[in-house]
Amino acid sequence: MISLLIPANLRLRFVPGLLVLEGPFGVTRLATGKLRFRLRDSSAGRRLVVDEPGSDASSATPASTLLAHVQRYIEGVTRGIRRRLRLVGVGFRASTVTSPSTKEQTLNLKLGYREE
């Protein structure tokens, strides 16, 4: 049995062969194949538990890999995705603009070769 701690602001729906994750930053779906999931309450909080169809060692690898993907999807729908960029070189201009209503930042790039 393999499990994963679930944040409080995440909603999960189980459809045969599909796991639907809903959070503040959106909705995403993940194909699960024959693996079955269930929620279990523990002292640390809610846990997503994978019930594996077989008990042999070869079935543990896909379940643990799938849980790693689920963890990344959970991070995306609960906290959002952020990346830092370091731009080095010439021939471009980069700036960020923050939207006053949504507080989201947008990256503007002006690229290309200009002859004068």
> What CATH number does residue 64 fall under?
3.90.930.12
Q: Rounded to the nearest 5 degrees, what angle is found at the Cα of 89, between the Cα atoms of 83 and 92?
A: 80
If you average pLDDT over residues 46-69, what whole number do you get? Answer: 72
Report yes or no: 62 and 35 within 8 Å, Cβ to Cβ. yes
* Per-residue burial over 38-56, b = 16 or more CB atoms within 10 Å of its CB, e = otherwise: eeeeeeeebbbbbebeeee
* Per-residue burial over 74-85, b = 16 or more CB atoms within 10 Å of its CB, e = otherwise: beebbeeeeeee
Whether residue 56 is contained in a domain is answered as yes
If you average pLDDT over residues 56-61, what whole number do you get? Answer: 52
Instruction: Please give the residue that has the higher pLDDT: either 1 or 57.
Output: 1
- pLDDT tens by residue, 15-41: 888 899 999 989 999 988 777 888 898
Q: What's the domain range around 67?
A: 2-78
Q: Is the pLDDT of residue 106 over 90?
A: no
Whether residue 53 is contained in a domain is answered as yes
Of 61, 48, 44, which Cα lies nearest the Cα of 14?
48
